[in-house]
Amino acid sequence: MRRAIKAAIALAVCLVTAVAGSDNGKRTDLPEAEFHMARLIYRTRGGGGSHGFVQPWWAIDYPFAEEHFLPALQRMTNIAVAQDSRHLEIMDPRLSDYPFLFMQQPGRGNWNPTVQEAGRLREHLLRGGFLLVDDLHGEYDWAVFERSMWRVFPDRPIVEIPENDAVMHVFFDLKKGTEIPGKRHLRRTYGGQTVARMEGEPSWRGIYDDHRRLMVAINFNMDMGDAWEHADDPDYPGPMTALAYQLGTNYVIYSMTH
For position 84, which CATH number holds?
3.40.50.12140
Q: Given this model, what pLDDT does residue 118 score? A: 98
**pLDDT reported for residue 10:** 46
Does residue 238 sit in the same domain as residue 222?
yes
Asked if 224 and 134 sit in the same domain, the reply is: yes
Instruction: Please check whether residues 213 and 240 belong to one and the same domain.
Output: yes
Q: Are residues 41 and 65 in the same domain?
A: yes
Q: What is the pLDDT of residue 234?
A: 84
**Domain shared by 69 and 16, yes or no:** no
pTM: 0.84
State the Cα–Cα distance between residues 75 and 68, nearest whole angstrom. Answer: 11
Cα 176 to Cα 201: distance, rounded to the nearest angstrom: 11
My answer on whether 16 and 105 are in the same domain is no
> For the chain, which residues score pLDDT lower than 50?
4-24
- Using alpha carbons, list the distances in angstroms from residue 19 to 22, 119, 163: 5, 37, 52
* Burial class (CB within 10 angstroms; exposed 0-12, middle 13-18, buried 19+) of 12: exposed
Number of domains composing the chain: 2
Shared domain for 26 and 49, answered yes or no, is: no
Residue ranges making up the domain that contains 156: 33-257
- pLDDT at residue 13, rounded to an integer: 38
